[in-house]
Amino acid sequence: MRELDEEWTSLWDTYRQSPEKIPGRHAQDKYAETTRMAQNLLRQRLTDKDVIELAASCGTLPASTKQRSKFENAALGFVVSTLLEMGDREDLVAMLSTRCPDRVDPIQCVEYCLAEGGKKVTDPILILAEAYSRSSDAEVRHALAAAVRRAFAGLGVEGKDDAEFVENARQWYEKEKGHLTVNPKYVLNDEHCPLEAYDRNPRYYRDFLPPFRRELLFVEKP
């Protein structure tokens, strides 16, 4: 993992310091290409067995996103997406109960990745609630609760505290999921750091206050 960290970091250093070495005509193209290359690097170097072992050891990383390196956050996101692709719900719940990244990649928040990418897992959005109930780390529980609040903001779910909100969100989803679908426009929400955005204005996610316009994670099926 140290060698992989060095390769991953070197790739992003090249993007920042020598962008002419990255394919693409414009800065946006070069960023997208570097992101693709970084993800491919992880895919090429980490087997499914490696991912499962990493999921089991995620609790050794700092709980706070600010204390983790960019590589560590990228690796956490990769573990989440890979476990989803494998359909490994148990290891995913166990991992998220110890460390919860707010982003899985530069575009997807963890809640959107779970809701949209969990084709092999039943009710993947509920993994957040399961991980919350299993977690004993205050910072991780905060990150999980924030993800649940972002996911269900504007859908009428309420709760006097995080624990009650998470449970009410679970019950609401179980009741309403038959006529819901994931909103692909959710990725357009302007939240570069979703957990920081939540911490700055938790009341907005609680009450879905105007005049802000934010896409819902779940919308009515056509």
Tokens 């019950």, located at residue: 171
Q: What would you measure as the largest C-alpha separation in the chain, in angstroms?
A: 53
pLDDT, position 100? 94
pLDDT, position 196? 84
Contact 119, 88 (CB under 8 A): no
What ranges do the domains of the chain cover?
A: 1-45, 47-220
Distance CA 219, CA 19 (A): 40
Distance CA 101, CA 143 (A): 8
Nearest Cα neighbor of 5 from 35, 30, 41 is: 41
Backbone angles phi, psi at 210, to 5 degrees: -75, 160
Question: According to DSSP H, which parts of 18-100 are helical?
Answer: 27-45, 48-57, 70-86, 89-96
Mean pLDDT by 10 residues, the chain (222 residues): 96 95 93 94 96 94 88 94 96 96 88 92 96 96 94 90 96 96 89 80 72 83 90
pLDDT, position 209? 62
Backbone angles phi, psi at 182, to 5 degrees: -75, 135
Distance (Å) of CA 182 to CA 47, 77, 112, 215, 216? 29, 20, 8, 11, 9
pLDDT, position 210? 60
* Beta-bridge partners for 219: 181
- Dihedral through CA 170, CA 114, CA 60, CA 200, nearest 10? -70
Q: Is the pTM of this model over 0.95?
A: no
Contact 71, 42 (CB under 8 A): no
